[in-house]
Structure 1
């Protein structure tokens, strides 16, 4: 039987590790450029980049903006296996999170690991405390939903410590762009693009959006939505965009916020909502102001959660892979722990579930 061919990028991974082990590359040494490595190994730049990204995720290399890639400034200190995995999510309510956790737990249990679950409630200070506690106790790996991923990462020092200690880490739902950890998420750009496209196909041209500003998903969905409007030569009007933060949800759409939502949607025929939770609240605002859904305003959303059938009209929404997302994240973490290759970025494509909240005009 022929031995399975090793992926090409592993040739680069093994070679760089050997150079470090032989002291041909030392702490702080600058790695050759991607072009130089590509020429030396006879491989594409994309293959070389995949190899260096894996070494970054393992804490062996570190990328310095505008300078290059270097051998990490601290050696990875081996630690005794704990058979514990830290899992950090922003929330854990009856929405999509229980299914995501089930997917993670199933794979961890199959591999003999226990899960330490923590919740940040999308608060930076909570993420700080949780990361500090997990690093102090020791874990064999981490699965993390980043907190306020649309804002600068205020816990960068702790994530650098995770890298230095060689703790395998996988992000879910979003990623901190400064970090090179693998991640598993919806293709949020394509989600925003697909939502706008669906409304355009229904002859809508006055399309508003209600999006979250402190999480990366909101930024990417906005970018996809804006891209599709531009493609169809529709004017992007900022006065039709409502941005909200985690703290706005804490006050449950206070009256002034409801007024802002209605004011910006008043002359629109359709709206793209950040998720089902927001869509349900937006629909309540519209109904309160005597707008008919979908005859006056069509509403489209994301997640296909249990909330999608709880509004005045069934919600047209894009499915979230939920349990499958958790499963893939845990499988990739297991690969990292075993020093096996895994995909740096897994993005699930949007799949529409049509109900009654969108109509053709």
Structure 2
């Protein structure tokens, strides 16, 4: 490894220790000799890396004593200085996320805060990078949509470090259950339930559920799907549910739905994880010459702009989008300015509703087309 590369590894690793809380403010870091052994590098490389971190304000030296971690995250009540809130979402440029961000920005701008936005693409390593970048910018607060919230997450130290340094943070859409942070979410189990019950009440008995299983939203929507089937005593069958992950979403859902819709015992109704997946299903029905809702009823989720984007207007479960963003911004500002809002101390849960459009129909009903 070249000298420049070794220097960057030493510098970035020490910075990560600080950001994760492994080295706390006021705590002495390893000596030069110890760092040389840990990284197997020369004294010059260690001194160069540590010197940069001192210059950038991550570390400070005390003559004759050693090198220490600065109180970098200690916040002073603002008096006209720049105020920054970080927002980390799984995605930015598509689907419902622009509405959430607009809601956040609308309130923060009124309060004089600037917004720093980043996205993880629902990738855990990218989440780590986003957290390090946000913490490096010394933000006042953080709003986060968790990455792969149904899985164990190796980045929890960053959130615990935020707590230790009294930087407020809030999770939206879901949260990491192992640390149970303040959060604003949707009752996704109820959403999955009402979507499924709607089809059952229309007389559908052979249903298919399409759910993402690496995010808690999908897991909980699937729970609602099964709860409705149990409560209404519908028969179970082996291919009743298709699950997928962030990485295999399009390929797996399209291929497996196509195969099921070609079978003689195809489902008559499909409950989809979200409106994007519902549109994928619509594309498959066109390819196979099936009509919606005449041959197949479809329910989406999130009541996004996509529900009105095709010739078949989608029945869908609501998502608060803009209001969720506004409430998240209000909570963060309240925590920074006043120490918290007693009316919403830890969590807020929205109850979704069903918006019925033209993609579902009662079994046996004659559909008249123009």
Query: Is 2:118 aligned against 1:122?
Result: no
Instruction: Note if contact 2:210-2:253 (Cα within 8 Å) is conserved in structure 1.
Output: no
C-alpha distance in 2, partners of 1:258/1:83?
45
Whole-Å separation in 1 of the counterparts to 2:106 and 2:292: 40
1:176 CA displacement: 0.6
Unmatched 5+ residue regions in structure 2?
1-70, 364-370
Residues 209 and 272 of structure 2 are in contact (CA less than 8 Å); yes or no, is this contact kept in structure 1? yes
User: Partner residue of 2:220?
Assistant: 220
Flag structure 1 segments of 5+ consecutive residues without an equivalent: 1-74
Distance 2:295 2:227 in 1: 25
What's the CA shift string for 1:151-180, capped at 9, x where partnerless? 111211212211211110111111111122
Q: Tell me, in whole angstroms, the C-alpha distance in 2 between the residues paired with 1:359 and 1:327.
A: 35
Aligned partners of 1:152, 1:236: CA distance in 2, in Å? 30
The one of 58, 79, 82 equivalent to 2:75 is: 79
**Secondary structure of 1:272's aligned partner:** strand
Counterpart-to-counterpart distance in 1, 2:349 and 2:236: 26
Distance 2:345 2:353 in 1: 22
Aligned match of 2:257:
261
| 1:224-303 aligned within 5 A | 224-249=224-249, 253-254=250-251, 257-265=253-261, 266=263, 267-303=266-302
Report the Cα distance in structure 2 between the residues aligned to 1:236 and 1:332, rounded to whole angstroms: 43
Structure 2 Cα separation of the partners of residues 218 and 239 of structure 1: 17
Q: Residue 15 of structure 2 corresponds to which residue in structure 1?
A: none
Give 1:358 shift: 0.3
Q: What residue number does 1:349 align with?
A: 351
Counterparts of 2:358 and 2:233, CA distance in 1: 27
Q: Once the two structures are superposed, what CA deviation does each residue of 1:184-232 show, in whole Å capped at 9, x if it has no partner? A: 1221011001101111110111111111111110000000111111111
Structure 1 residues 122 and 162, CA gap change in structure 2 (3 angstroms):
same
- CA deviation vs aligned residue, 1:41-92 (integer Å, no higher than 9, x gap): xxxxxxxxxxxxxxxxxxxxxxxxxxxxxxxxxx997323551111111111
Aligned to 2:177: 177
Is residue 325 of structure 2 the alignment partner of residue 326 of structure 1?
yes
| TM-score (ref. length: structure 1) | 0.74
- Residue of structure 2 in register with 1:304 after alignment: 303
TM-score, length of structure 2 as denominator length: 0.73
Q: Secondary structure at the match of 1:278?
A: helix
Q: Please list the CA deviations of residues 251-297 of structure 1 after superposition, one character each: whole Å capped at 9, or x if unmatched.
A: xx33x652312234542110000111110001111221222211211
Write out aligned runs for 1:142-221 (5 A): 142-221=142-221
Aligned equivalents of 1:264, 1:95: Cα separation in 2: 27
Judged with a 3 Å threshold, the aligned counterparts in structure 2 of structure 1 residues 346 and 238 are, in CA distance, closer, same or farther, namely farther
Q: Name the count of aligned residue pairs.
A: 283
For residues 154 and 238 of structure 2, the distance between their equivalents in structure 1, rounded to whole angstroms, comes to 29
1:176–1:237 distance in 2 versus 1, CA, 3 Å: farther
Change (3 A) 1:257 1:226: closer
Cα distance in structure 2, aligned partners of 1:294 and 1:113: 47
Q: Distance in 2 between matches of 1:259 and 1:114?
A: 44
Residue of structure 2 in register with 1:91 after alignment: 91
**Is the 8 Å Cα contact of residues 85 and 142 (structure 2) preserved in structure 1?**
yes
Secondary structure of the residue that 1:293 maps to in structure 2?
coil
Larger Rg: 2
Question: Which SS does the other structure have where 1:115 is aligned?
Answer: strand
Quickly say closer, same or farther: Cα 1:257–1:306, change in 2 above 3 A.
closer
**Contact 2:73/2:138 (8 A) holds in 1:** no
Supply the distance in 1 between the matched residues of 2:75 and 2:273 (Cα, whole angstroms).
Answer: 41
Further displaced range: 87-96 or 193-202: 87-96
- Structure 1 residue 238: deviation in Å? 4.4
